[in-house]
Each structure stands twice: as C-alpha cells, then as structure tokens.
Amino acid sequence: MTILEIIQLLSVFFGTLIAAPLVVSKKAKKRLIGLTAVIAGSIFAIIVQLYLGLYYFVFANAFWLLNACNGIKKIVRTQRKNTTGF
C-alpha cells in the first residue's frame, strides 16, 4: 500500500464516514467535530487530486472546504453570542 492510497483512505474516512453523521447532529459540538472532519477529508482529497493531475476536482473539494470553514465560523459566533447574553 502506497502513501497515496493511505491518503485516499484517510480522505474517505474523515470526509464521509466520520463527517456525515456528525454534521447532521443537533448538538453544536458534534457539528463542529463533523465540519472539522470535512476539512480534514477535503485536504486529503486535494492532496491526492493534485498529485494525480485532477485539477478540476480540486475546485469541488475547495468548495466543501470553504463551506465547512464557514459553518465552523457560524457555530463559533452563535456560541459566543449565547455566552455573552446579548
């Protein structure tokens, strides 16, 4: 098994198996963990796609990466807003 295959497996593991059930959770902490897993899976997928020359697919994963970052930002803002009491 090569390092590229390991990175592909990590991409599937983080981006799908861990992220999918956590992102749809009602608890913000679980969603936060799920979105972090989406980010990790997207980064692993981008590495593999750049290595294989699949440059168009990099844009799709960058889209998921940016959406996950935006989701984390919204969760953090909401939690911060709830703790300050405003």
Q: How many CB atoms lie within 10 A of CB 27?
A: 9
Instruction: State the residue for tokens 């963990």.
Output: 33
28-52 vs 3-12: helix crossing angle, rounded to 10: 150
pLDDT of residue 18: 94
Report domain extents, the chain. Answer: 3-84
User: What's the whole-model pTM score?
Assistant: 0.89
CA 45 to CA 8: how far, in whole Å?
7
* Predicted local distance difference test score (pLDDT) of residue 75: 94
Instruction: Please give the pLDDT value at position 81.
Output: 86
Q: How far is CA 8 from CA 4, 21, 47, 53, in A?
A: 6, 20, 9, 14
Grouping H, G, I as helix, E, B as strand and the rest as coil, residue 67 is helix
Q: What's the pLDDT at 85?
A: 65
Regions of the chain with pLDDT less than 70? 85-86
Instruction: Judge whether 70 and 31 are in contact, CB under 8 Å.
Output: no
